[in-house]
Chain A
């Protein structure tokens, strides 16, 4: 699979809330299909379908225990998708922190202008 195809599958797999919830659960340790189905109000076959999508995307794999066949999370593809998002974060976090400061300044300036306007009107001056 090329890097690009891998990213397609990762994002497609992550585009579903149930699958994201499954990954969140697996992030804290491996679990059987039964365990994974418990918190959801959907059937076990439906969960199995979601697990298949995650498995095809390489985001989860099966453990050795043949009876329970526990699923566990695969870190690498998730880390790749995350490093892509990290670039966004870096660009925008730096920008937005400066914007916070600017907005504070604009708020203060606006308050001053309002006060100034009121004082002028109180003195009977024309605007």
Chain B
């Protein structure tokens, strides 16, 4: 079965994260899904989130701008620049999150096709260990922010009731 559908995540060094995933489609189509905004809109983002802004200037030196909106209406913006584009086998871009200025990372995607299936290997290289830690902390802060929001809501509703 070639492990279709199984996401593998590893950390070969202390600044890199590598993800591997097999798709049951030729790489031409997988590459297209990563480069065309009308297609990206249909899949990019965690469950329950939608890509409400998706601007893509898919050429070397061109930029992209994404805004994801969560189920609670919270938005998460990210932007980046394409560094290298070799359709349909390789692309390299820089990316950072709006909420965390300086959170730059380099993302390399390698698309390998075999027997009609495509193995995508994505390597995320953080510019420093500090950046990696910012990203790590962001997860915790997001969690904290969510609980504060709920607390604020609760206080507001109690005020209204009083």
Name A residues whose Cβ lies closer than 8 Å to a Cβ of B. Answer: 4, 7-8, 11-12, 14-15, 81, 84-85, 87-104, 106-107, 110
Contact = CB atoms under 8 A, between A and B. Distances in A.
Contacts, number: 83
B87 interface: no
B23 A103 contact: yes
Contact of A106 (B14, B25, B44): B25
B74 interface: no
A95 B133 CA distance: 24
Interface string B6-34: 01010111100101010111000110110
Contact of A102 (B12, B13, B43): B43
B39 interface: yes
Interface residues of B, number: 31
Interface of A is mostly: helix
Contacts of A7: 14, 132-133, 136
Interface in B130-162: 132-133, 136, 139
Contact of B129 (A8, A88, A95, A104): A8
6 contacts: A7-B133, A92-B21, A94-B48, A95-B43, A96-B43, A100-B24
Nearest to B120: A96
A11 B14 CA distance: 5
A98 B7 contact: no
A92 B43 CA distance: 10
A100 B46 contact: no
Given A15-B14, A94-B49, 6 more contacts: A7-B14, A90-B46, A96-B5, A102-B42, A103-B23, A103-B33
Contact of B24 (A90, A97, A103): A103
Contacts of A97: 5, 47
B21 A103 contact: no
A107 B23 contact: no
A104 B48 CA distance: 21
B17 A93 contact: no
A85 B17 contact: yes
A14 B10 CA distance: 10
Nearest to A99: B43
A4 B131 CA distance: 11
B45 interface: yes
